[in-house]
Chains A and B, each alone.
Chain A
Amino acid sequence: MSSPAVPDRPWLIRTYSGHSSAAASNTLYRSNLARGQTGLSVAFDLPTQTGYDSDHPLARGEVGKVGVPVCHIGDMDTLFDQIPLDRMNTSMTINATAAWLLALYVAAAQRQGAGTHELQGTTQNDIVKEYLSRGTYVFPPEASIRLTSDIVAYTVNEIPKWNPINICSYHLQEAGATPVQEIAFAMANAVTVLDTVQNRDDVSPDALPRVFGRISFFLNAGIRFVEETCKCRAMNQLWEEIGRDRYGITDAKMLRFRYGVQVNSLGLSEAQPENNIVRIALESLGVTLSKEARTRSLQLPAWNEALGLPRPWDQQLALRTQQILAFETDLLEYPDIFKGSHVIEGRTAELVEEAREELNKVLDMGGAVSAVENAYMKQALVESHTRRIRAIEDGGQTVVGVNRFEESVDSPLIEDSDKAILKVDDDAEREQVERLNAFRNQRNPKEVESALANLEDAVKNGQNILPPSIQAAGAGVTTGEWSDTLRQIFGEYRAPTGVGAAHTAPSSENIEGVRKRVDEVSLELGRRLKILVGKPGLDGHSNGAEQIAVKARDVGMEVVYDGIRLTPDEIIQSARDEGVHVIGLSILSGSHTVLVKEVLEGLQKQGLKDLPVIVGGIIPEDDAATLRQAGVKRIYTPKDFDLTQIMNELVDVVRAENT
């Protein structure tokens, strides 16, 4: 077959970015666009994602860390300064507070003079995967699904080119999902949203095809890129099947499976980090090779993500990788290169069949929300992830430079480890709080009050939340005020951790060895070794904490794990009340220094200064030294994949402290 005359259009080329402040992020966006990036992907900081203003106690240490803080319309204006929103395609990774950030975006666009109808972009707005993996949920499932469907119902008429929800199977794979689970749980999630929207009075039946057509997905691409190709093709088929059979959609255009991708971060290694450059390029193949199932937009992580925050140069490399693939290779010149491949079609068919079965299982339980509440999906993910980690530990799964071919010369890329990552300005938080206070002082308090009262009425009366939110955005309401109004009405939710019912690992010699040591030290202590696994701060990435909790139980420890988003005070209270021998803290948001020090100081005040603390997370060597100095007994980073060894060291730590 000859290549077509006109090559396929390239996907949207994006980089997930944002940090420190709206002004700093605006500079970054404009330089990325100047370098040939074709869309924006906004990363918000955790306080913004979980509905707190930058000066809230829970925001301490988190402001501007994993993304940009947006507290009000002033921040939003600054973020898109000199970026015409009527011509931009903006993806916003925002979930619990998606309705609010969309309202701010619409209000900012209106102030630029852009029409609401012209706006293009995506709100992630997928709350189910927040309960399962990412952890930035706020409200209970029922209320969350209502907010999700409010956005869908609003945009389908008012912002027709907007993707109101981006169903994320991305984070499911990061949490350990197999391809079958990734497909099935994403589809179950989409069905739950569609069923909810379908039942709304304000969405007419003839709008349903358009609603269906605007639902997009956000996939992960792992290193097994042949299977990943099949996964994308399988999702294509299953989505069309659901559209036809469940919702009676016939328009081929509306039935098309549309998705964006961020390639895998889970498989990126801290050891020999330059290998990640190659991994990222290969992972990109899985979602671009097959024209029929090619991604609409692509974001590549930076090679040094496991070390800390990427610098502009690291982001540029990610961008160039995409550009080489799109513009230098002949990829876009051909029709689907897998057409007629028995091997690809065979694997695709298998995935479709297995995923359909798993999907029906979840739907029989009452859908995605029920399977969140009864912890079915979460537990399945924890178990898959446990299997994956075990396979890396025992060598069943090769990770080059990590569990095979570990020998290495020193990498010139990370010679000066401090300069190989970006440091968020320590003043960013203070400056943001100052700007926030200045903004509050210049608003009209009466306008704010009445906007909040309108918002409250709309939420209580079941009206769509978008119009009063857009009004509130214009009146100068803050992210914290908007969220508190909803918290008062909906309450806050704690999702099941899924660890309680995870199956015990089969025994191995290593595990038996640690069990024996745990038994011995327990006898010496007089009672069984007890550990508290804590996640302080707003970071909801709980996979690491969950794996540690399950492993600790498997080697015979008694484990207290209370889930995510605890304050240092709550962790200290729990450690004292529960009578634990050691505390393990997990933090991935970069706020480790502030939060760990708070825990250590609190323990001292409570007379528990002898209680040993260990920390796991993405912790640069400099910070690690600071934390050791402050009294942390052990620090673990992504390179420490051998959990059994970590358990061995835990026993050492406890023994040393009790001698």
Chain B
Amino acid sequence: MKPDKPLDVAPLLERLLAGDRTAIAEALNLVDDQRSAQRESALELLDGLAIHKEAQRAHVVGFTGAPGAGKSSLLNALVETLREHSLRIGIIAVDPSSQRSGGALLGDRMRLSASAREAGIFLRSMAARDRLGGLADATRASTAVLSAGFDWVFIETVGIGQSECEVAQLVDTLVFVAQPGAGDTLQFMKAGILELPDIFVVNKSDTGAEAERTRSELGGALQLAEAQAAAGWTPPLLSASARDRVGIDEIQTQIEAHRQHSRESGEFARRREAGQLAFATESLSRRYGEWGLAQIGGAGTLSGRLEQAGERSAFGVVLDLGREIENALRGK
């Protein structure tokens, strides 16, 4: 095997900033690499990227919902609309892994149409693997890479409950896709996370009455939950049909509206900050465990460390703290 030696990340960084697609793919491979030296190089690369404002212009949108809700078709339709405005788009699709073999079939859900492929949409699919509750740090690192090359980054995940909480911390705008009649609305309410999504879409409006019923159920539940929602933004409840290409423009309009609102209201900055803390916590605790974190004063001190970091990004802080923990280990 090729040895796990630290990389000189400068050339890769340069190519990334120049928008080289092969470099984007290489960087995604690097941030996924679990070997010690590669991991440190990855954090260095991400830290280097974080200084460049133009490498962070992407707006990050999550698409989530139950299996079969039609997220992929809807996202495909939306992506085609966005392409008409010559926007550059990167997508991360997260698929479940087999618990037994660790293997996964990827990309089967998020299947790009021929025109999307021709238009050069970048798609990376990732397996959820065994990282229970730890998917977010890998996805965040990938998101940071894609943000360097694209105007929009979409993250598509499947599931109800836990994964919404994770995704909500990863994205600037969260879109929840419901399908008519499948009872997932009810599950969603039960999971008590109705306040997370910024936009609700009932897909498959071509099913008529059934879609209408789901829409009104969801609307009723939302009214009840509204008291808890973030001030200043009422999550819109939309209807769409990916099949008939209906309601796609409205989804785009609402994402744009939320983007503007969140930037103006400070919600955007607040979420990104919370996201950085979540990344630092997950990344360090997954690698070093609670005992490792205790060596640098415990998880509670992390937000302080991030605040003091100044120019250094969360990725750089994680790199520094990791080294501190490892030194502490060696000292023992």
Contact = CB atoms under 8 A, between A and B. Distances in A.
Q: Are both chains from one complex?
A: yes
B34 interface: yes
5 closest A-B pairs (Cβ-Cβ)? A526-B33, A500-B108, A553-B103, A524-B1, A526-B35
Contacts of A626: none
A578 B108 contact: no
Given A526-B38, A563-B111, A659 B125 contact: no
B105 interface: yes
B124 A578 contact: yes
Nearest to B32: A527
Interface stretch (B22-30, B163-171, B276-284, B294-302): B22-30
B57 to A, nearest CB: 20
A590 to B, nearest CB: 24
Contact of A560 (B32, B106, B122): B106
Nearest to B114: A492
Contact of B107 (A492, A560, A570, A608): A560
A306 interface: no
Interface of A: 374, 492, 494, 496-497, 499-500, 504, 507, 515, 518-519, 523-528, 530, 549-550, 552-563, 570, 573-574, 576-579, 606-608, 655, 658-659
Interface stretch (B46-54, B94-102, B223-231, B232-240): B94-102
A559 B103 contact: yes
5 contacts: A492-B114, A526-B38, A560-B106, A563-B111, A574-B123
Given A526-B35, A553-B103, A577 B123 contact: yes
A519 B100 CA distance: 12
A109 B81 CA distance: 47
Contacts of A507: 100
A2 B262 CA distance: 91
Contacts of B106: 530, 558-560, 578
Contacts of A659: 1-2
B113 interface: yes
B270 interface: no
A576 B21 contact: yes
Contact of A519 (B25, B102, B113): B102
Given A525-B1, A553-B103, A504 B123 contact: no
Contacts of A576: 21-22, 25
A500 B105 contact: yes
B286 interface: no
A526 B28 CA distance: 12
Given A499-B108, A526-B38, A577 B124 contact: yes
Contacts of B102: 515, 518-519, 528, 556
Given A528-B129, A553-B101, A579 B32 contact: yes
B109 interface: yes
A59 to B, nearest CB: 16
A562 B111 contact: yes
B210 interface: no
Contacts of B32: 526-527, 579
Given A528-B129, A562-B111, A658-B1, A555 B101 contact: yes
Contact of A527 (B25, B29, B112): B29
B117 A573 contact: yes
B25 A553 contact: no
Which of A500, A515, A523, A659: most chain B Cβ within 10 A?
A500
A583 B97 CA distance: 20
